[in-house]
Amino acid sequence: MILCLETATPTCSVAITDGMNTLTHRECKGQNAHSEKITLFIKEVMDEVGIDYSQLKAVAVSKGPGSYTGLRIGVSTAKGVCYAAGLPLMAVDTLHAMAYGMRQKLDDQVQPDDLFIPMIDARRMEVYCAVFDAEMHRIQDTQAVVFDETSPLASLSSQFPTSRLWLFGDGAPKLKTLLKDLPQIQIVEGFEPSAAYMASLTDQALRENAFVDVAYFEPFYLKDFVAGKPHVKGL
């Protein structure tokens, strides 16, 4: 069994997976959710399944891209569990896990030529995104894209003229106006990343012994962190 942590976006999510199956999970969304809930959720899922840390094979953490603060909390927590319990660490691509989750939700609606484009809000008119085919192979690498009439996202239908394109994640609704006249574009609202979607990738990583160095692993931020202007008077 593997303990999975997802904190790359405002959603804090924890799951226990066993092979390709998610046994249980907890999640919530909100300000300070990661710092307030992650250790509580870990205890709850462990208690529900009835295991202790000695029965885990690894800890998996969503590596990004995403929120700088959220990723730091998730990775720090994962490393703490690994050090304390002597467990190996896995790093799961956030967008890839989202694609698996959307593929799972659509189930028998999926057509062979469908493409999956998970999108994470990167503020203003920018998203982090990647493109995966129906077999979950990566077609385009992860990138930060500012979208307008000249951006690559505006020409998606011409790039993939025979494919139905599924756009989802909290960055996808930004494109509703830009892509509203393209019938092959399917924008799914309300989709959130979840540790429950990590099972396929963690199972593969376990079979391949694809672990990362607990001491030196760093999240995939994609962009440099820019601190916001403090709102405390005098700072």
Concatenated DSSP letters of 28-65: EESTTHHHHHHHHHHHHHHHHHT--GGG-SEEEEEEES
**CATH C-level class of 95-188:** alpha beta
pLDDT at 151: 64
pLDDT at 153: 62
pLDDT at 158: 76
**pTM for the predicted model, two decimal places:** 0.89
Domain limits of the chain?
2-93+194-207, 95-188
Do 2-93+194-207 and 95-188 agree at the fold level?
yes
Concatenated DSSP letters of 105-146: HHGGG--TT-EEEEEEE-STTEEEEEEEETT--EEEEEEEEE
| Residue ranges in the chain whose pLDDT is less than 70 | 148-155, 180-181, 223-235
What is 2-93+194-207's CATH topology?
Answer: Nucleotidyltransferase; domain 5 (3.30.420)
Sign of CA dihedral 41, 45, 82, 119: negative
